[in-house]
């Protein structure tokens, strides 16, 4: 595969929790730059924290990328904590986040390259909408 044939993805990810912890959902909005394809993913997580929901949004997007050809991934997220953990600037200390972080790093190692950028919430509206949809589709309550 030539360099130009490697898929390039922009992965906007987000998580939402109504209460912390509380009913939570994840969302990710992916754009495959070479084809213009847009993918929207969301889901309900039950009762968990916002930080867990943030990672679950990222993991859902990475699973999709890897299942559809891999490639380069440009992560955009409004969770400064998660982005800085991915960059290695912050340690991952919380026991619930450690396995999620490890899963993310293992998936990122399978890509052709990646970047992670903290973006303002306004630039992450689609992923935020999807994360909230994940909660709302379950009545905003844990089942």
Instruction: Give the C-alpha separation, 39 to 130, whole Å.
Output: 11
Helix, strand, coil % (nearest 5) of the chain? 40, 30, 30
CA–CA separation, 16 and 88 (whole Å): 23
For β-strands 72-77 and 113-118, DSSP reports them as parallel
- Give the chain's length: 143
30 or 2, which is more confident: 30
Give the mean model confidence (pLDDT) for residues 82-93: 97
Mean pLDDT throughout 44-70? 97
Cα separation, 37 vs 86, in Å, equals 26
pLDDT at residue 143, as a whole number: 43
The CATH T-level fold of domain 3-136 is Nucleotidyltransferase; domain 5 (3.30.420)
4: confidence class by pLDDT, cuts 50, 70, 90: low
118: phi > 0 → left, psi -120 to 50 → alpha, else beta; which?
A: beta
Radius of gyration of the chain (CA): 14
Of the pLDDT bands very low, low, confident and very high (cuts 50, 70, 90), residue 6 is: confident
pLDDT attached to residue 10: 98
Residue for token pair 């689609």: 126
Looking at the predicted structure, is the pLDDT value of residue 141 above 70? no
Q: Report the pLDDT value the prediction gives residue 71, as an integer from 0 to 100.
A: 95
The answer to whether 50 touches 27, Cβ cutoff 8 Å, is: no
Confidence band, pLDDT 50/70/90 cuts, at residue 62: very high
**Three-class secondary structure of residue 112 per DSSP:** coil
Please report, for the chain, the start and end positions of each structural domain, with discontinuous segments joined by +. 3-136
pLDDT reported for residue 1: 44
* 97-140 pLDDT tens trace: 999 999 999 999 999 999 999 999 999 999 999 999 999 988 76
């Amino acid at each position: 595969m030539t360099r130009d044939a490697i898929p390039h993805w922009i992965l906007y990810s987000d998580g939402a929790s109504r209460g912390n912890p509380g009913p939570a959902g994840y969302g990710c909005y992916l754009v495959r730059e070479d084809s213009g394809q847009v993918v929207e993913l969301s889901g309900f997580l039950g009762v968990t924290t916002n930080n867990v929901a943030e990672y679950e949004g990222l993991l859902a997007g990475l699973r999709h990328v890897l299942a559809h050809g891999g490639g380069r991934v440009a992560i955009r997220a409004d969770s400064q904590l998660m982005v800085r953990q991915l960059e290695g600037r912050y340690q991952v200390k919380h026991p619930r986040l450690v396995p999620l972080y490890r899963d993310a790093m293992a998936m990122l190692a399978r890509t052709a390259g990646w970047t992670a950028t903290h973006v303002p919430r306004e630039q992450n509206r689609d992923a935020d909408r999807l994360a909230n949809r994940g909660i709302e589709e379950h009545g905003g309550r844990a089942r």
